[in-house]
Amino acid sequence: MDALEPPRLIKKGAEANLYLADWHGRKVILKKRLPKEYRPAKLDAQIRTYRTIHEPQLMHEAKKAGVPTPKIFLVNVKDTTVVMEYIEGTQVKLLLNQISEKERKNLCFKIGQEIAKLHLFGLIHGDLTTSNMIMTTKGKVFFLDFGLGEKNTELEAKGVDLHLMKRALQSTHYQFAESCFESVIDGYKDIASVKTLKSVLDKVKQIERRGRYVAERKQVS
């Protein structure tokens, strides 16, 4: 990593620090998973190593599914660090509350399409929030942070994925949560079949009913 200029910390996330750096003339993000003092060292090392290895693999798979993700340049398992392409654009979290209703609808539709592409390819993102998506000036939506993702074709995993997306909209974009999620569903339907969508949405309902204090819990599905 000698070629790296002194990296500049741009985000202290929950599980990793993100540094902006120059890598052989490329603008890159250096994602370093730092040890967490709170958990036992053995568990901590397992979690960080696992995620450092699997995240780039999943990002690579996502590209095959046709979902934009940053290019991976280097994975340093020992150092639990990944060097990846820096994506110019705006975080969807910041964008969503600023744009017009029509633009919002289109953006959410696009997000739904990308999620469906992942799912049809057997990929689960695992942390679908608007913080983990970047919209480029060319209108592409890049998906980031696959650290909690997995390869999984089960309906349950897809259901949880969409459930998390819905919750993220409800907590962070509560003003438009409902219409945004509807557009996500429309986008999903555009890629997956109506039958697939229906079974995933049924699963989402089932998952919600497992949770705490859900009015519909007692209803028979």
Partner 1 sequence: MGKMKSQMNEGYCLGIESSADDFGVGISSFDGKIASNVIDAYVPSEGGIHPMKAARHHAEVASKAVQEAFQKSGVRPKDLSIIAFSQGPGLGPCLRTGATVARALSSYFGIPLVGVNHCIAHIEIGKLRTRAEDPVTLYVSGGNTLVAAYDAGRYRVFGETLDIALGNCLDVFAREVGLSQKPGLPFGAVIEKLAVNGKELLPLPYTVKGMDLSLSGLITAATALARKEDYKLEDICYSLQETAFSMVTEVTERALAHVGKKELLLTGGVAANKRLQSMIRAVAEEHGVKYDAVEAEFAIDNGAMIAWTGVLAYKHGLTTPLDKSFVRMKWRLEEVETPWMR
Strands 81-85 and 26-32: antiparallel
Q: Give min distance, CB of 130 to partner 1, in A.
A: 10
Catalytic residue among 79, 127, 145, 186: 127
Q: Is 35 in the site for partner 1 (CB under 8 A)?
A: no
**Closer CB to partner 1, residue 71 or residue 93?**
93
Q: Is 212 in the site for partner 1 (CB under 8 A)?
A: yes
Q: Is 170 in the site for partner 1 (CB under 8 A)?
A: yes
DSSP assignment of 4-60: ----EEEEE-SS-EEEEEEETTEEEEEEE-PPPTTS-HHHHHHHHHHHHHHHHHHHH
For 174-183, b/e burial (b = at least 16 CB within 10 A) is eebbeebbeb
How many CA atoms lie less than 13 Å away from 72 in the CB half-sphere? 21
Question: Taking CB under 8 A as the criterion, which residues in 99-138 touch partner 1?
Answer: 126-129, 131
What is the chain's length? 221
**Closer CB to partner 1, residue 106 or residue 152?**
152
Q: Which of 197, 198, 217, 215 is nearest to 207 (CA)?
A: 217
Q: Is 159 in the site for partner 1 (CB under 8 A)?
A: no
Q: Is 220 in the site for partner 1 (CB under 8 A)?
A: no
Q: Is 217 in the site for partner 1 (CB under 8 A)?
A: yes
Please state, in angstroms and rounded to a whole number, the distance separating the CA atoms of residues 194 and 188.
9
Residue 115 CA to its chain's centroid (Å): 9
Q: Is 151 in the site for partner 1 (CB under 8 A)?
A: no
DSSP state of 132: G
Q: Is 162 in the site for partner 1 (CB under 8 A)?
A: no
Q: Is 127 an annotated catalytic residue?
A: yes
Question: Taking CB under 8 A as the criterion, which residues in 171-210 touch partner 1?
Answer: 171-172, 174, 207, 210
Positions marked active-site: 127
Binding region for partner 1 (CB under 8 A): 12-15, 36-40, 42-43, 47, 126-129, 131, 148, 160, 164, 167-168, 170-172, 174, 207, 210-215, 217
